[in-house]
Structure 1
């Protein structure tokens, strides 16, 4: 009985101690955690498990690493407030994914951010047509901030976007959804500048309208 009581009190104390540490480190939403915050949170969680399992070591000694991690995180957060360069070094820098309606593939590659990620996050914000987007910024937390095109037309009723080409790959299922085939798509590409599949980063189809974003040319201009 004493073992159960001791284990329960120990668990309660560890819970309250971790709660205190996180309050000490500052309030941050889960979706806005930086890489540093995430690493510290995971490490504190892992140490807490060891604290509850190790009964042969002094209790203060087992929780001491959690306190050290919290102090390190607070110190780094302080330096981040004082120095923009240090903040970008620790948390990363926001990156513009869509600039004036044009997708920046170089930035996407550097952030290991693919077109499916982009379309998913746009849909989560109620955007089904890429023509509505003027700027899309990938924040250091991984969240996509979108500035809509003020001249973009809002769709009437519910419209479903159909990506037909993603990174040069034809999406045959989506072609079937709209009752078309690959020959129709190739014909449409020919009408829109005689394009090949491997020249297209993304091709969308909504409400009978096409959105085509060409891949950036990798060829360097001649001197």
Structure 2
């Protein structure tokens, strides 16, 4: 029983410390994952895992190791913001793999990229033929940025000389899973009474009948009622 409690406490402490440190490291760990930040995340997870399951590692030692690792990561990230040389060393540089419609074989070899990989990355950008591509750049985080040839670009409203309506709002959830998203209503400076009035205009007698509601960019409401089934 003591062992179960010990592991439970160690797990809880490891979870809390890891959560705090990842929040401290910032959103780049998820949104701009590079090789360096990827390794950092794995290392922190391994340290936390070892601290939890290995009784020979003291909790203080594990927490200290995670904290120092996180602080070193933050320090290196700060240096990379000020020094382009360090930034390139840590994150690498973008590689142009297609230039003026021509595949750059040398750049692909240096990036350890083959034609199957390139085709897959292009399809992920809804490009199914290399002949449509003017430039393709492999970013440090492994994603591909694509600039199509002008004749392959989709026409914009400006190109077609269509009227453009100004966006009044960013599309925002107002009701999700049958519950009002109060935070969003507050940020939009709207209230429950206004919301109830809007959904009644769309045929719902009360908020209880609504599963999902979203404010559209033009100020209208998209409504999805609850299923009777």
TM-score bucket of the superposed structures, by smaller chain = 0.5 to 0.7
Higher RCO (CA-CA < 8 Å; seq separation 6+): 1
Q: CA deviation at 1:153?
A: 6.8
Residues 1:10 and 2:10 are matched in the alignment: yes
Consecutive unaligned residues in structure 1, runs of 5 or more: 155-223
* CA gap 1:153/1:10 in 2 versus in 1, 3 angstroms: closer
**Over residues 69-127 of structure 1, what are the superposed CA-to-partner deviations in whole Å (9 max), with x where a residue is unaligned?**
10111011001100111100111000111111111111011111111000001111111
Structure 1's consecutive aligned runs of 4 or more residues displaced over 6 angstroms after TM superposition are: none
Taking structure 1 as the reference length, the TM-score comes to 0.64
Q: How does 1:89-168 map to 2 (within 5 A)?
A: 89-152=89-152
2:58 aligned residue? 58
CA contact (8 A) 1:31 1:143 kept: no
Name the Cα RMSD after superposition: 1.7
CA contact (8 A) 2:133 2:147 kept: yes
1:78 aligned residue? 78
CA contact (8 A) 2:96 2:136 kept: yes
CA distance in 2, matches of 1:35, 1:89: 11
CA distance in 1, matches of 2:19, 2:124: 31
> Number of aligned pairs?
154
Taking structure 2 as the reference length, the TM-score comes to 0.63
Q: CA deviation at 1:29?
A: 5.6
